[in-house]
Each structure stands twice: as C-alpha cells, then as structure tokens.
Amino acid sequence: MSGSAFDVLARIRANRAAPEPVGERCEMCSETIADEHQHVVNVEGRQLMCVCRGCYLLFTDTDAELRYRAVPDRYLAFPDFAFDRRRWEALQIPVGLAFFFHNSALDRTVGFYPGPAGATESLLDLESWDEIVRDNPVLKEMEADTQALLVNRVKGEREYYLVPIDECYRLVGLIRAYWHGLSGGAEVWDEIEKFFAELKEKSGVTGKARHA
C-alpha cells in the first residue's frame, strides 16, 4: 500500500470544493443576497424581511391584497410641512424623533418614537393626526405599512420626510447600538446627525427650512 494515512487525507482535502462563503440569504427563497438588499413587510406579523430582487418584485402591486408588501425606494422631504408646536404637543411624544405609518392590519395610523430600548408606540391622538393630514394632503399618498412620515425635532431641527419604513427601523437600531448613559452620549448624536444628512441627500434637499 503506497502512501501514509496523512497522504490520503491530504489528497481528499485537495479534491474537496472550496466552501461557499457564508452571507445573508433571502428569507423567502434562501438565495444569497448582498449587504445592500431590499425588504418586504409581513403585514400581519409587522416584520421586515430581507429578500432578493426576484422575491421583492412579487409584492410590488400596491392595489393587490397581499400578505407581504415590498418596501418602496422613495424619499421625499417636506420643507414647508405644516406642523407647529401645538400639533406636536397634542401627539404627546416625549422625544424629538418619531415616525408614523398606516397599519393596515389595525386600519389606523400608528406612531412610534425610538429610544435606547427600541421603538415605543405612542398613544396617538387620531383627531390631531387627521388635522395634520388635512393641512398636509401629501400624506394621503403615503403607502400603508411600507412608508412612514419621519419627524426630526431634535436640537432645534424641524425636518419632515416621507421614507421607506425600513429607514425608520434602521434609525431605531442605530440608537440602540450607540446609546450610552442617560443622555445617550456624543457618539449617538453624531450618528443621528449622519443619518439625517444621508436622508437629505437621498431626498435631494439643498437647503434647510425651520418652522415652529
């Protein structure tokens, strides 16, 4: 018998195919997807799912009654948004960041604000929200479950964006990851500033408008 056991093992190892790199996979078909990928919302379970392009396209029909809905890649900034301090206080949100979207499973608009423990649902005053929509009819174009109004009133900012819902949860995750101590620390506020700078760029914002 020629060769040792070590020679045999060496030949077996050499003939094996290299293992496929481990990466993120589509949560529907298990196809490998890139770090930059798209999402769909599980409407009933209120869950974001990472998907490949093919699976994403299956759920882009906004008129169909689907269990899953594709999150659109749409960004709008509202520099002249009618949203004064009285309206903000009526929503009873204790921080300067919040997002609002229509939950089709509940058939109503819901509001959340991010914090170190995650996203907390606000006790949204629906009459106040209806008043906001009347004064800002562009909100009627907001697609249920997949788009949100994101509000930034931190440190004197008055910024209002229509964004994909996954951006809101990206902000929530960012705050959870970088928050330290009672006030959050300088690092988390730097990250929040970077986040909104990116939104400005995606929304094509060239200037800044402030309101009450």
DSSP string across 112-176: EEEETTEEEE----HHHHHHHHHH-GGGGGPPTTTEEEEEE-GGG--EEEEEEHHHHHHHHHHHH
Lowest mean pLDDT among 1-5, 62-66, 80-84: 1-5
Domain total of the chain = 2
Quick check: is 25 in a domain?
Answer: yes
Do 114 and 147 share a domain, yes or no? yes
Do 65 and 157 share a domain, yes or no? no
Domain boundary among 71, 87, 107: 71
Quick check: is 208 in a domain?
Answer: no
What is the structure's pLDDT at 2? 47
What is the structure's pLDDT at 23? 64
What is the structure's pLDDT at 74? 93
What is the structure's pLDDT at 212? 47
Do 157 and 82 share a domain, yes or no? yes
Do 61 and 106 share a domain, yes or no? no
Quick check: is 51 in a domain?
Answer: yes
Do 132 and 192 share a domain, yes or no? yes
What is the structure's pLDDT at 112? 95
Quick check: is 210 in a domain?
Answer: no
What is the structure's pLDDT at 143? 94
Grade residue 11 by pLDDT with cuts at 50, 70 and 90: low
Burial label for 165, CB within 10 Å (0-12, 13-18, 19+), is: buried
Is the per-residue pLDDT at 205 higher than 60?
yes
Most confident of 82-86, 123-127, 207-211: 82-86
Average of pLDDT values for 96-112? 93
Do 22 and 55 share a domain, yes or no? yes
Do 46 and 96 share a domain, yes or no? no
pTM of this structure: 0.83
Average pLDDT, the chain: 86
Grade residue 162 by pLDDT with cuts at 50, 70 and 90: very high
Is the per-residue pLDDT at 44 higher than 90?
no
Grade residue 177 by pLDDT with cuts at 50, 70 and 90: very high
Q: Kindly state the percentage of the chain with pLDDT values over 70.
A: 85
Do 64 and 83 share a domain, yes or no? no
Quick check: is 209 in a domain?
Answer: no
Domain boundary among 71, 93, 124: 71
Do 83 and 182 share a domain, yes or no? yes
What is the structure's pLDDT at 183? 86
What is the structure's pLDDT at 126? 83
Q: How far apart are CA 71 and CA 30, in angstroms?
A: 19
Tokens of 99: 């997002």
What is the structure's pLDDT at 144? 94
Write out the residue range of the structural domain in which residue 95 sits. Answer: 76-203
Do 113 and 163 share a domain, yes or no? yes
Domain boundary among 19, 46, 71: 71
Which of 28, 14, 26, 158 is closest to 81 using CA atoms?
158
Q: Report the 10 Å Cβ neighbour count for 3.
A: 9
What is the structure's pLDDT at 202? 93
Quick check: is 111 in a domain?
Answer: yes
The larger pLDDT score, comparing residue 136 to residue 182, is at 136
Do 89 and 164 share a domain, yes or no? yes
Do 52 and 128 share a domain, yes or no? no
* Rg of the chain taking only CA atoms, in angstroms: 23
Quick check: is 212 in a domain?
Answer: no
